[in-house]
Amino acid sequence: MQQLSEGLHFGKYKLLERIATGGMAEIYRARMTAAAGVTKPVVIKKILPGYAGNSAFLSMFVNEARIAAGLSHGNIAQVFDFGEVDGEYFIAMEWVDGRTLSSVMRRAREKGMYTLPQPLALLIAVEMLEGLGYAHTRLDERGRPLHIVHRDVSPQNVLLSYEGQVKLVDFGIARARLAGSAEPVEYDLKGKYTYFAPEQVRGREPDARSDIFAAGIVIYEMLCGRLPFEGKMPDVLRKLALGDFPRPRDLNPGIPTALERILLTALAVEREQRYATAEAFAEALTRHLHTAGPDVSSSARAHFMGYLFEAELVGEGRPVLLPREFLAQMARWTQSPLERRALREMAPPVREPPDDEEERTPIAEFELPPSQAAAPVEGRMERTTLTLPALPGPGAPPEPGVPPLDAAASRTMGMPRAVTLGAPIIVALTATLALLVSNSTGTFSVELSSSPPGAAIRVNGQPQTARTPALLTQLPADAEHLLEVQVPGMVAWSQTVRAERGTTLAVHARLLPKRIQGPAQQPHRAPPPHEVRMPAERMSLSSVVHAFRVPYLSTAQMRLDPSRTYSVRVEGSASLGHANTVEHAGYFLEGDARLAARESFGVLDGEERLVRHASRLHVFLLDANRTDNHGTLMVRVREWDNDGAVTTLRVDARTHAVKLSRVDRFLLRGLEPDTHYDVVLRDTAESARTRGFDGGPVGRVLGLYGAGEGPETVSGLLTLLEVGRPLRLRGATWLQLAFPDDHLADNTGSLVLEVSPVTAPGTSPAPPPGPPAPAPNR
């Protein structure tokens, strides 16, 4: 954010700070001075000069601003004023001291929460819908409906204050923006098409039910950790028109069936099948919330904001007080079902870096030891945080004889790709120990993180073994230190830090992809299809398009030590319906930077598989219809370095069956069951990668094949295809392939699939269909 040191006068307002610049306006934090010297904080949205000469836009803008100014509701940011100053049109609106919902969801992910806690997400959703319901039902002076439609409901237009208030902004502005656009609608609203309603895709006029659909997408995103419609614009618009998206429980089985029905009603393709009003939608969510979370109160929203943005609030001199009962609730909401049995109390959350939407100075803070902390108020305060003295300014020369830097590799033990609380707890303990040491040796520490994670680190020109996120300790105080962060294919980042002893800084590096410009830019290519019918010989498997996020809540999982070696195998059998009995399961590994992509997933059977550099093991079955499944597979995990100790992991055929969405896999149909096929994977010039460049080529893909209509209705058998290892297939009519992963943002490249019929007569019959034994992970 650009700080305006003296402030700029703009009519009766003083512009203090530029918050953001968009395609239509510049947004400033400002102060209004009224009579008798009374001042009021406001937000000024100045329309960019390019719109000033557009009469259609100005007419629409003034009309929509007049309507927005007439809205007065606790869940809508109040518009106080609109007009013109020296030829610049503006809106003056309520200043909400907080963050956008998009920032909240991003910070929650950085803290290890793949989804927002359900009770909090529903509390936010109900308030958002109440604001929409108020606007939808407004009447003019003569009692006629105004037919107000927001048209741009998205996480960027939902604000959450630090006090827990929920406010909608930008009512009607989307319509004004459309009026001033000379380009097609979908390109003018690029980036927001993922929140369109199907009728908007079909070119029909949106109404209140279009806002209900968009609100349903926002709630889906909070509860499932991803959007229902993802991909390039043409793909998203096609999926929207067809209603093609994963059911909420496919992504998060922790969502109750009743809540899923509510969401699916709001996301109906035909608007006549959705909730008729936003109030009806809100009432359905409220009824469910009273049943599923009767102990949650509206104050939890404020505590959650303090929990997420503790560092920023403390840096502004606003201590964060988190009640004991709220921390206990967070422990229940954020732990997986397995961890809920083992952990009864949650450690205080580690301080996170500033929101990467804004450029802010890193904040120094520490937690008071129990002997110095203020006595907790009975039933109210669990802990408090205070800031350290202000950081010294730059310019001090480095001290001679700087001792070697100790870079603690938190990635090794902290599972940065895991969606668990384990990483924050370990980092917090490590930071506490480092702080105690640094207080006595005249040094300070830096908690360095990056987006994306797993970046290489250099400190004062020296490469470090750690990858982000990492805790850098023993940095001599009162000296400047150069931090550099780099990921292949992204613009390098650097920053100089300096602090007093005892300080622990949170520094976050936001890395941007390198842009190829001019004639070297690659031509646009259509994405590979998700489904192909035979005959087909060479097909492209993309690690970006044909990859699925492993749904953690649907897998049997076990923590592992990345420094140790394990052998894993399966015992027993399970039924996937009818007579289809299986004795194998898919697995996926989370791990540190040493875990290669080709070792991160595969198929488990009766033979032992070697597992190294892994922090967590996930085991699952692939089956779209788990209602008729029964039985349990026993996974034996033997630890090599602990006298061969064996731990057993139970895989339930119903609970731990994963369904793949049509947008997350490749499907080949039309195979002849009486024909033998040779199926081979080939590498390409740009090898498929699922763990970034450093993870190496993946060289394999998880397969499922069977006879019948397809994996949507018929169970299949798991297999593993590897580059250069042909698979002889017989008795199948379809083959499904996908790359399991937990972090799709660093995926690149592709493989080629070749399927050719074997027509040589007189050959001996192939064995009956069954999963070929995958090669051991070496």
Active site (catalytic) residues:
152
What CA–CA distances, in Å, run from 523 to 519, 520, 526, 615, 731?
10, 9, 10, 40, 41
From residue 732, give the alpha-carbon distance in Å to each of 109, 261, 422, 717: 41, 35, 43, 10
Rounded Cα distance, 16 and 691, in Å: 44
Count Cα atoms within 13 angstroms, Cβ side, for 11: 18
| Tokens 């959705």 found at | 274
What Cα–Cα distance (Å) separates residue 479 from each residue in 215, 363, 444, 496, 585?
A: 50, 17, 10, 10, 54
> What CA–CA distances, in Å, run from 701 to 557, 571, 601, 651?
21, 23, 9, 22
Three-state secondary-structure class, residue 143: coil
Whole-number Å distance between alpha carbons of 413 and 435: 19
101 token code pair: 């919902």
CA neighbor of 154 nearest in space, from 230, 98, 102, 91? 102
Mark residue 172 as left, alpha or beta (left: phi above 0; alpha: psi -120 to 50; beta: remaining).
left
Radius of gyration of the chain, Cα coordinates, nearest whole angstrom: 28
User: Cα(716)–Cα(732) distance, rounded to whole angstroms?
Assistant: 9
Tell me the β-bridge partners of 630. Answer: 575
CA dist list (Å): 207 to 150, 171, 197, 325: 9, 13, 10, 42
Q: Helices 278-292 and 257-266: crossing angle, nearest 10°?
A: 170
Distance CA 44, CA 57 (A): 18
Of the candidates 81, 80, 68, which has an alpha carbon nearest to the alpha carbon of residue 135?
Answer: 68
**Both tokens of residue 597?**
């992509």
Cα-Cα end-to-end distance for the chain: 50
CB 158 within 8 A of CB 218: yes
Both structure tokens of 211: 């806002």
